[in-house]
Amino acid sequence: MSTFWSLWIIVLTLTNLALLLWVLLANRKVAVRDDEDPENRTTGHVYDGIEEYDNPLPRWWFKLFIATFIFSGIYLLLYPGLGNFPGLLNWTQEKELRGHQQQAQARFSDQFGEYAATPIEELARNPDAMKMGLRLFANNCAVCHGSDGGGNWGYPNLTDDAWQWGGSPERIKQTLVEGRQAAMPGWSAPLGEEGIAQVTEYVLSMAEREHDAEMAAEGEPLYNRNCVACHGADGKGNINLGAPDLTDDVWLYGGEPSGIRQTLRVGRNGVMPAQGDLLKDDRIHILAAYVYSLSLNYDEE
- Judged by CB under 8 A, the residue of 2, 3, 4, 29 near another protein is 29
CB nearer to another protein: give 95 or 131.
131
| Site mask for another protein (CB under 8 A), range 240-279, x = bound | ---------x------------------------------
- Judged by CB under 8 A, the residue of 10, 134, 239, 241 near another protein is 134
CB-CB contact of 13 with 76 (8 Å): yes
Residues 172-231 that bind another protein (CB under 8 A): none
CB nearer to another protein: give 3 or 38.
38
CB nearer to another protein: give 80 or 150.
150
Is residue 142 close enough to count as binding another protein by CB under 8 A? yes
What letter represents residue 191's amino acid?
L
Is residue 37 close enough to count as binding another protein by CB under 8 A? no
Using the Cα atoms of residue 111, residue 116, residue 118 and residue 124 in order, give the sign of their dihedral. Answer: positive
What long-range pairs does 73-76 form, CB within 8 A, spacing at least 24? 76/13
Compute the distance between CA of residue 232 and CA of residue 274 in angstroms, rounded to an integer.
27
Phi, psi at 87, each rounded to 5°: 85, 150
Compute the distance between CA of residue 82 and CA of residue 119 in angstroms, rounded to an integer.
57
CB nearer to another protein: give 137 or 202.
137
Question: Smallest distance, Å, CB 34 to another protein?
Answer: 4
- Judged by CB under 8 A, the residue of 18, 32, 74, 77 near another protein is 32
Question: Smallest distance, Å, CB 286 to another protein?
Answer: 14
Question: Smallest distance, Å, CB 135 to another protein?
Answer: 7
DSSP per residue, 181-226: E--B---HHHHHHHHHHHHHHHHHHHTT-S--HHHHHHHHHHHHHH
Phi, psi at 243, each rounded to 5°: -85, 120
Q: Which residues pair with 181 in a beta bridge?
A: 271
Question: Smallest distance, Å, CB 257 to another protein?
Answer: 16
Residues 144-163 that bind another protein (CB under 8 A): 146-153, 157, 159
* 48 three-state secondary structure: coil
| Site mask for another protein (CB under 8 A), range 102-131, x = bound | -------------------------x--xx
- Judged by CB under 8 A, the residue of 2, 4, 31, 39 near another protein is 31
Q: Three-state SS string across 63-99, please?
A: HHHHHHHHHHHHHHHHCCCCCCCCCCCCCCHHHHHHH
Chain contacts with another protein (rule: CB under 8 A): 27-35, 38, 56-62, 127, 130-131, 134-135, 138, 142-143, 146-153, 157, 159, 249, 294, 297, 301
